[in-house]
């Protein structure tokens, strides 16, 4: 469950609803007014016809897009409930369901602030049919995990309940729809129900009272000043959460949860839609709401000509930033002209973002990054929001740069090349959507129909939308795009805000910047944009192709493996999950653990520094234009024991992606002016961590990065190391998964991967069994530590950890046992700490098994951690509750229902994964990296599969109990660490504590490292022998 701050930012691209599946009746959603524009129903072959063959439309700009959604069984029951039902087989045997309610926090009266969100919480707690969170238990029992597959959200204008459930058994869909029906009219509200849920809601509220939450709330109030929205954040107020009566909550629920203001949406792998409509009719049809549909009030957001200014000081802020926001009424999307305007707006934002990115990559940039987005604030209002993180005391420079760029666009416009670039980007996006029109996820379709119901957004079908964009995009001129900069004048409902950890600017400073730029624009004293030269080709001289030395076909898993003449191993798997996706990853053994300590910090920054310089032979600001309209990207990572690159692309752009990999291996990166900017950003990040109260907590579970560490970084050493990491192709294994045509892909693989030159002597060629291990030691005795940190508002976070050691002989099964046990612990912690005691919002369980080098022999060490946040004053009590529950599980074992639920959740996740390219990429990579691998990929793959099957078959309350005793110290209370973040105490409390603790021994051991892949952590100092409770 979550309350959503309405100013959540996202980059908006044209609305792209998908097409109906072949089983959908041909006229189920076509509006009569668009019949002459919509393509006729076609055969499966025609549907898969390529985007480039789509005919252009002779579209009338005044043509109405229609009110009825395309491709869905849409209607309304007699009681007013709307429904949307669509058959869709992605993923197979699953359904995405939702109940959308046109009731949010803006409808609350003063004494109800937060009640809309409380109702949402109570829905999962108790209804007339379910009690004591039985809804959650039922959904978990069918494989719908809490949070991932059953959730809800409350915004200012609406509340949405979402389920994602299996439908491979006839009764499951009916039961899931019955749950949504309970939410519509049967939520139980009693004082006892409220008492049980207040703690969880209060903890969610506490989670919003950090620096990010305060900054968001402040900006929202500034944007919405003068309207009711300004005082109706969905999370509500602490007083209402703690004290509101059941009668007040009931009154809100009864008044606004009217069936006429609701819609149920069902998208999934259904044999037909009519049977689902009948299920909706069965569960909802007999329900009724009070007579008279409540009218949803319209709350105006006032316009203002003069800009609003704010200099917000937040002592815990992650850094300094500038935000420029311009509000405007939400445009209607009713006609083809409206749709064309949306495309123009999207092109403007894309072109603006391209410029802002290039400015951030200059020699002495005014900001670290900057981006623009259109955000729907509330039902009637949207805004263009430009946000820019910048250096400390750099807000004035950043603001001036932003306003100057907007003025430059108004004076000189965008160039034809800029326009062509963003046109290609949008054309590429709609082509991808068209090619995958029959493979879109049911959750995405569900969201489309939610927007149709809640915001009247038209759904016209992807074929028509693709034709529409293909027709309209070429006709949009640079002058039209440039005119959108007029909407970002400071006289257009503009809000300008700076955020700083320490005050350095005033409102008068901001006004002077606005006045200065306005004067420059009026005098036309701003020069035109200076464009860089953009090469035509990524590779100027194409390499000679390599050859295949050895080939293996693993038919059991549909994989082909090639050993190339330069020693590189390439494995590919052809799938049909998505028609426009190819994903790949390459790895080689040998990483940061092989370095002398003196070079560690420099080399750990290698990927970051090289990335800013340009690892593919071109600066990032140039490469972004070279790749315009191409769907290809590649990234790198330097880890403790491995170095990797990964990426994805469209099948049509596989050549581009492989060219980037070739460039990665053949480019020599040399430090330049970019290094200074990178190091400045890194230092700002360290200073930000020092301001964050959670840093003191994080520093107890991992070694922190300090300013003096960054001062040790030698850019020449960093670049030299990075160059060597991606130099020798014979050390790398590459896995490629997706929509691959081997007849096309193999020649490209041979040319761009096989063509990578092999150095005369091996470079960074390591055996996995001979890698240097990093120090890892879990404390030998119990550690209970309180870390105190100054805070603006009280926060508390808990990490409870236990050592894990898996023996080599039973490693394969034990790893799967750890996976099942972590899910069991997460489920039980939620049941005890949230549903029973009502004192947390969520609990997470994480597993770390990186305490050893990845050799084929030896045991695996690591830890398993339970994490949650809570009221600081009950944290120790909740730790004891968690320990008691774990000890009970070790002694008594879980219930049969617990075992059944975690088996079902794991199985459903496994089934979903089998339909995803990333899942298969990960499985194949893990098979290569498994200690079972000795040259036969299938053997390694099958050993892992067999281990999973064996553990599933054997898992029972008894075997789970035995595994808990075997894998976690038994009894669990004999060996663990717990670190609790608490607010810093007052001076009086500190003095009292000092006199009480002078005879206590505070000698403790460092808990463990949480990750081996984070940037620039000194792994040489992890095994510290003594730490003390700190106040920071």
Tokens at residue 666, please?
């053949």
Q: Which residue has the tokens 């959904």?
A: 139
Contact 662, 727 (CB under 8 A): no
Contact 116, 252 (CB under 8 A): yes
Comparing CA positions, the residue from 79, 76, 77, 75 lying closest to residue 291 is: 79
Judge whether 793 counts as a catalytic residue.
no
CB-side neighbour CA atoms (13 Å) of 693:
23
Comparing CA positions, the residue from 548, 540, 551, 539 lying closest to residue 750 is: 548
Q: CA 723 from chain center: how many Å?
A: 31
Instruction: Please give the Cα distance from 58 to 67 (Å, whole number).
Output: 21
Beta bridge partners of 574: 738
Instruction: Please give the Cα distance from 477 to 469 (Å, whole number).
Output: 14
Beta bridge partners of 1031: 788
Q: What residues have CB less than 8 Å from 589, skipping those under 6 apart?
A: 641, 642, 731, 766, 767, 768, 771, 854
Tokens at residue 175, please?
């039961």
Strand residues in 201-290 grouped as ranges (E): 262-268
Phi and psi at residue 721, to the nearest 5° = -65, -45
How many C-beta atoms lie closer than 10 Å to residue 131's C-beta?
A: 12
Per the residue annotation, which of 197, 203, 612, 826 is the catalytic one?
A: 197
Q: Is 205 helix (H, G, I), strand (E, B) or coil?
A: helix
Comparing CA positions, the residue from 210, 258, 286 lying closest to residue 107 is: 258
Q: DSSP alpha helices (H): ranges in 51-190?
A: 115-125, 134-141, 170-185
Q: Is 680 helix (H, G, I), strand (E, B) or coil?
A: helix
Comparing CA positions, the residue from 587, 965, 952, 548 lying closest to residue 766 is: 587
3-state helix, strand, coil in the chain (%, to 5): 45, 15, 40
Tokens at residue 363, please?
């020699």
The DSSP output letter for 872 is G
Contact 784, 959 (CB under 8 A): no
Instruction: Please give the Cα distance from 891 to 866 (Å, whole number).
Output: 19
Do you find a cis peptide bond into 91, omega within 30 degrees of 0? Answer: yes
SS3 letters across 13-42: CCCCCCCCCCCCCCCCCCCHHHCCCCCCCC
SS3 letters across 361-405: CCCCCCCCCCEEEEEEEECCEEEEEEEEEECCCCHHHHHHHHHHH
H or E, element range at 853 = none
Do you find a cis peptide bond into 971, omega within 30 degrees of 0? Answer: yes
Residues 379-402, buried b or exposed e (16+ Cβ, 10 A)? bebbbbbbbbbbbbebbbbbbbbb
Judge whether 197 counts as a catalytic residue.
yes
Contact 535, 626 (CB under 8 A): yes
Contact 366, 357 (CB under 8 A): no
Instruction: Please give the Cα distance from 636 to 641 (Å, whole number).
Output: 14
Greatest C-alpha distance within the chain: 87
Per the residue annotation, which of 120, 480, 500, 805 is the catalytic one?
A: 120
Contact 1019, 1012 (CB under 8 A): yes
Comparing CA positions, the residue from 844, 906, 898 lying closest to residue 869 is: 844
What are the catalytic residues?
120, 197
């Amino acid at each position: 469950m979550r309350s959503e701050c309405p100013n959540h930012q996202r980059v908006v691209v044209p609305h792209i609803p998908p097409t109906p599946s072949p089983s959908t009746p041909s006229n189920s959603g076509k509006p009569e007014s668009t019949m002459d524009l919509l393509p006729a129903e076609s055969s499966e072959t025609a549907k898969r016809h390529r985007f480039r063959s789509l005919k252009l439309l002779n579209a009338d700009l005044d043509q109405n897009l229609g009110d009825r959604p395309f491709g869905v069984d849409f209607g309304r029951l007699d009681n007013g409930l709307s429904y949307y039902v669509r058959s869709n087989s992605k993923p197979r045997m699953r359904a995405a369901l939702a109940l959308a309610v046109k009731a949010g926090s803006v409808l609350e009266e003063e004494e109800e602030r937060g009640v809309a969100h409380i109702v949402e919480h109570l829905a999962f707690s108790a209804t007339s049919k379910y009690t004591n969170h039985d809804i959650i238990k039922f959904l978990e029992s069918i494989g719908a995990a809490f949070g991932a597959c059953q959730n809800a959200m409350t915004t200012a204008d609406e509340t949405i309940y979402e389920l994602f459930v299996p439908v491979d058994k006839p009764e499951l869909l009916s039961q899931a729809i019955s749950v949504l029906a309970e939410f519509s009219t049967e939520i139980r509200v009693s004082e006892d129900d409220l008492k049980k849920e207040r703690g969880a809601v209060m903890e969610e509220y506490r989670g919003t009272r950090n620096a990010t939450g305060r900054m968001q709330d402040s900006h929202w109030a500034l944007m919405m000043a003068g309207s009711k929205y300004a005082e109706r954040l969905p999370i509500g107020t602490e007083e209402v959460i703690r004290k509101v009566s059941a009668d007040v909550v009931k009154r809100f629920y009864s008044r606004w949860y009217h069936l006429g203001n609701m819609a149920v949406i069902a998208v999934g792998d259904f044999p037909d839609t009519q049977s689902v409509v009948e299920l909706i009719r069965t569960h909802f049809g007999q329900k009724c709401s009070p007579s008279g549909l409540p009218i949803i009030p319209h709350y105006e957001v006032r316009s203002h000509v003069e800009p609003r200014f704010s200099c917000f000081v937040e002592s815990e802020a992650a850094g300094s930033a500038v935000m420029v926001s311009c509000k405007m009424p939400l445009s209607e999307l009713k006609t083809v002209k409206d749709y064309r305007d949306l495309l123009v707006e999207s092109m403007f934002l894309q072109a603006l973002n391209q410029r802002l990115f290039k400015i951030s990559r200059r020699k002495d940039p005014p900001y670290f990054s900057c981006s623009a987005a259109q955000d729907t604030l509330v039902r009637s209002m949207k805004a263009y929001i430009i946000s820019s993180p910048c250096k400390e005391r750099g807000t004035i420079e950043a603001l001036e740069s932003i306003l100057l760029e907007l003025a430059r666009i108004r004076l000189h416009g965008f160039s034809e090349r800029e326009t062509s670039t963003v046109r290609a980007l949008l054309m590429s996006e709609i082509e991808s959507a068209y090619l995958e029109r029959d493979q879109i996820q049911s959750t995405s379709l569900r969201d489309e129909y939610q927007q149709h119901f809640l915001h009247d957004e038209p759904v016209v079908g992807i074929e028509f939308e693709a034709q529409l964009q293909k027709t309209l995009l070429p006709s949009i001129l640079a002058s039209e795009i440039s005119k959108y900069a007029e909407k970002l004048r400071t006289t257009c409902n503009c809000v300008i805000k700076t955020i700083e950890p320490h005050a350095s600017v005033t409102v008068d400073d901001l006004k002077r910047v606005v006045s200065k730029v306005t004067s420059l624009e009026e005098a036309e004293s701003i020069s035109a944009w200076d464009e860089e030269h953009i090469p035509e080709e990524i590779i100027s001289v194409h390499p000679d192709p390599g050859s295949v030395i050895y080939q293996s076909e693993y038919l059991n898993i549909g994989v082909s493996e090639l050993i190339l003449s330069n020693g590189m191993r390439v494995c590919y798997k052809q799938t049909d999950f998505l028609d426009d996706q190819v994903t790949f990853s390459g790895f080689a053994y040998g990483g940061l653990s092989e370095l002398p300590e003196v070079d560690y910090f420099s080399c750990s920054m290698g990927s970051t520094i090289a990335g800013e310089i340009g690892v593919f032979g071109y600066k990032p600001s140039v490469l972004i234009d070279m790749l315009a309209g191409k769907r290809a990207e590649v990234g790198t990572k330097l880890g403790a024991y491995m170095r990797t690159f990964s990426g994805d692309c469209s099948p049509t752009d596989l050549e581009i992606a492989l060219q980037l990999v070739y460039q990665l291996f053949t480019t020599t990166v040399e430090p330049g002016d970019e290094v200074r900017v990178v190091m400045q950003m890194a230092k700002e990040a360290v200073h930000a961590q020092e301001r964050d109260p959670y840093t003191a907590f994080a520093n107890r579970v991992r070694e922190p990065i300090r300013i003096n560490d960054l001062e040790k970084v030698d850019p020449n050493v960093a670049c030299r190391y990075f160059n060597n990491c991606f130099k020798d192709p014979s050390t790398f294994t590459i896995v490629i998964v997706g929509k691959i045509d081997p007849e096309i892909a193999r020649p490209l693989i041979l040319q761009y991967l096989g063509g990578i030159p092999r150095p005369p002597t091996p470079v960074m060629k390591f055996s996995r069994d001979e890698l240097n291990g990093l120090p890892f030691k879990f404390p030998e005795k119990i550690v209970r530590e309180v870390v105190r940190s100054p805070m603006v508002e009280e926060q508390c976070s808990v990490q409870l950890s236990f050592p894990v050691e898996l023996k080599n002989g039973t490693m394969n099964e034990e790893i799967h046992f750890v996976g099942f046990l972590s899910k069991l612990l997460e489920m039980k912690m939620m049941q005890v700490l949230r549903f029973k005691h009502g004192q947390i919002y969520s609990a997470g369980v994480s597993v770390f098994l990186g305490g050893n080098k990845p050799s084929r022999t030896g045991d695996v060490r690591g830890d398993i951690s339970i994490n949650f946040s809570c009221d600081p004053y009950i944290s120790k009590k909740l730790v004891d509750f968690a320990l008691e529950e774990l000890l009970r599980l070790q002694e008594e074992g879980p219930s049969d229902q617990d075992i059944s639920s975690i088996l079902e959740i794991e199985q459903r996740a496994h089934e979903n994964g089998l339909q995803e390219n990333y899942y298969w990429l990960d499985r194949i990579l893990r098979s290569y990296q498994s200690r079972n691998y000795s040259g036969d990929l299938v053997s390694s793959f099958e050993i892992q599969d067999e281990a999973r099957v064996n553990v599933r078959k054997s898992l029972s309350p008894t075997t789970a109990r035995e595994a808990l005793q075997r894998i976690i110290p038994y009894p669990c209370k004999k060996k663990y660490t717990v670190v609790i973040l608490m607010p810093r105490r007052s001076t009086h409390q500190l003095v009292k504590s000092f006199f009480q603790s002078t005879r206590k021994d505070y000698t403790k051991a460092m808990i463990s490292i949480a990750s081996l892949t984070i940037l620039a952590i000194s792994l040489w100092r992890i095994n510290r022998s003594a730490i003390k409770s700190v106040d920071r």
